[in-house]
Amino acid sequence: MSSSLLSLGISRAAHLLRSGEISSRDLTQACLEQIESLDGSLHAFLTLTTEEAFFRANRADFFLQQMRKGITPETTSPLLGIPLAIKDVLALSGVRCTCGSRMLETYIPPFTAHAVDKLLADGMVVLGKTNTDEFAMGSTTENSAFGPTRNPWDVARVPGGSSGGSAAAVAAGMAFGALGTDTGGSVRQPAAFCGITGLKPTYGRVSRWGLVAYGSSLDSVGCMARSAEDAALIYASIAGHDPRDSTSHEIPVPGFTPYAENSLKGLRIGLPQEYFLPGMQAEVENAIRSALAVFEKLGAEIVPVSLPHTEYALPAYYLLAPAEASANLARYDGTRYGINRPAAGYIEQFMSSRAAGFGPEVKRRIMLGTYALSAGYYDAYYARAQKARGLIRRDFDQAFQQVDVIAAPVAPTTAYLLGERNKDPLSMYLGDIFTLPANLAGIPAIAFPAGFDSNRLPVGIQLMGHAFAENTLLGMAHAYQQVTLWHRQMPGAANIPEETKEHGL
Amino acid sequence: MPLTKKEISDIARLARLQLSEAELTLFSSQLSDILEYADRLSQVDLAQADEIAGILPDNAPLRDDIPGSSLSLEQSLGNAASTEGRQFKVPPVLDV
């Protein structure tokens, strides 16, 4: 019973909840049992909120019962009673929010992030907080101070990052969906590595209020689920204006409707030559080209486009994001929150607390950002990177005059082995080459499964759209998922060995 | 041009990070590699580029200034390592 429950999509589960065939308590129980049996090995969760989950499940079951009696409860959202997970960089009042860092190991936020609040108002059952690279800085989840998450398709491999905990939880059936965040690809790349669907919305589409800041002009709260249809339900809940985030847009969020008969006739997909590089894994390129053939059969037209400044996205991002991080993380001084290492003077305490609280990647990015912003180097690095960002954005503007969306790989390879890249930061950064441009341009992008490599590791494809084109991206991914089965594959529990629980929950 | 340990140490001071000897050595080589890679940006023709590219179409709108609820004193101080009365407590900022 419980394993069949875990493979349900959100909309199917919502249907069964309404008819009374299953209860939210059943779903919650099944997810928690799956976590109990697999998470000792995968380590997707940093904190479980079991009591809160059952409280919310019981409440949802009561609302569902009211609905069956013809009474309209507080919410009738399709998310009512659905168990979801939250990346541990988004605040949930009263539950510790670590950001994968020793710095915030015991930090208990007294407020709830806007996106989490919206899901709670829609009746979500919150299962817990998921593992992340420290302060979302990383591409493998190995930078978590609390130990890495492992990929459910092969536990010797990384799930991607930084939203690797959310991706692994959704892929392994421990949650029906999750929130992640995407500053340079941190929703899309782990979605691709774990074989799920991940949407990074337009910058400003989802409020950042209550999200612990990393790169404020790049950070986006995103949706992770096992299908585009499910991601659309989460997106519909969290998108929209919030006066507490001054970069939040007031443009209304249209409801998602699939393309009639999944016909993509009249849609033009741009294929940028700059995203197919020598040295990328051949199986990744083959999977993308096969997926494009499917899109052609669905009626879309493939058009070559050029994004000539693509190669500058990586150097621009790795100056701008650290620059913003160095400013944002200046708040951790050991005074108001976070780890405190007492010292004789204020500055000494500031420095010793940060030395104790931050891990190597965070220190590296703070150092890099401080350098890029320092007097004498500002024009050579930060200002130049900002200008390059403008050119990258202009490339997209020009391409979107010819096409509706742009197709590309999510990453040049499938999931790496643990430890394979984390000794050399630059080689790690190079893996982000296809996801960074969307963040620099502020545009939405979706990653979804498009095949497997010869090691049976998932391969993801990415569609990028112009600002506010989320529904086009979701609709196209949904149409693709109506005629393919890649997204329906789940890693068997057989892939995941039992392991002693080395990471206490 | 690789960064010297002295430069790394100066940046660390600006960034309020106390680094170990091993970290100074490691970061001087790693940051040099990353900055060398970032030097590719010097090849871009920026003549046509905007001064600073924002990513919002217009200036961020201002909201009305309406008083609302805020955190209580207890909530505000709740995560602090050291407090006294209604205040956060820190070591001396100035030598007097």
The CATH number of the domain holding residue A228 is 3.90.1300.10
Q: Are strands A83-87 and A125-130 parallel, antiparallel or unpaired?
A: parallel
Q: Are A252 and A361 within one domain?
A: no
A497 in a structural domain: no
Q: Is the pLDDT of residue B56 over 70?
A: no
Buried-state track A373-392, b at ≥16 Cβ within 10 A, e below 16:
bbeebeebbbbbbbbbbbbb
Q: Is A408 in the same domain as A382?
A: no
Picking from A386, A415, A440, the residue at the C-terminal end of a domain is A386
Could you tell me which residues are beta bridge partners of residue A272?
A305
User: Is A482 among the domain residues?
Assistant: yes
A104 lies in the same domain as A184 = yes
User: Residues A195, A251: one domain?
Assistant: yes
Inter-chain touch B48–A389, beta carbons under 8 Å: no
Please give the pLDDT value at position A501.
40
Same domain, A33 and A182: yes
Share of chain A above pLDDT 70, in %: 97
Q: How far apart are CA A31 and CA A39, in angstroms?
A: 11
Query: Is position A261 within any domain?
Result: yes
Active site residue A144: no
How far apart CA A297 and CA A304 sit, in angstroms, is 17
Q: What is the pLDDT of residue B49?
A: 80
A449, β-bridge pairs: A460
Give the SS3 label for residue A160. Answer: coil
Tell me how far CA of residue A198 lies from CA of A27, A133, A138, in angstroms. 22, 17, 17
Residue A166 annotated to the active site: no
Q: How many domains does chain A have?
A: 2
Query: Does the bond joining A162 to the residue before it have cis omega, within 30 degrees of 0?
Result: yes
Nearest chain B CA: its distance from A290 CA (Å): 34
Q: Which has the higher per-residue pLDDT, B56 or A81? A: A81
d(CA A452, CA A426): 27
| Domain housing A464 | 2-270+401-492
Judgement on whether residues A367 and A457 belong to the same structural domain of the protein: no
How far A5 CA lies from chain B's nearest CA (Å)?
Answer: 40
Residue with tokens 């997204």: A487
- Out of A87, A118, A129, A200, which one is annotated catalytic? A87
CB contact under 8 A, B91 and A348: yes
For A319, nearest residue in chain B (alpha carbons): B38
* A351/A486 same-domain check: no
Checking if the pLDDT of A503 tops 60, the result is no
Tell me if B91 and A345 make a contact (CB, 8 A cut-off): yes
In a domain, A254, yes or no: yes
Last residue of a domain, one of A386, A411, A431: A386
A382 & A407 share domain: no
Residue A232: predicted pLDDT: 98
B74 pLDDT more than 70: yes
How sure is the predictor about A498, in pLDDT bands with cuts at 50, 70 and 90? low
A129 is catalytic: no
Contact A307, A393 (CB under 8 A): no
- Cβ–Cβ contact B73 with A under 8 A: no
Share the mean pLDDT of chain A.
95
Give the closest of A335, A368, A426 to B80, CB-based: A335
Q: Which of A23, A101, A186, A220 is catalytic?
A: A186
In a domain, A280, yes or no: no
A92 - beta bridge partners? A95
pLDDT at A222 over 70: yes
The answer to whether residue A501 sits within a structural domain is: no
Say whether both A34 and A98 belong to one domain: yes
Nearest to B31 among A367, A390, A393 (CB): A367
Looking at A358, A386, A414, the residue that finishes a domain is: A386
Residue A305 lies in a domain: no
Residues A229 and A338 in one domain: no
Both A126 and A50 in a single domain? yes
Q: Which residues of A touch B51 (CB under 8 A)?
A: 387
**Among A114-128, A235-249, A481-495, which stretch is predicted with the lowest mean pLDDT?**
A481-495
Does residue A307 lie within any of the structural domains? Answer: no
Query: Which structural domains are found in chain B, ordered by start?
Result: 5-43 (1.10.20.60)
Closest residue in A to B56 (Cα) is A247
Distance (Å, whole) CA A235 – CA A238: 5
Average pLDDT of the segment spanning A240-244: 93
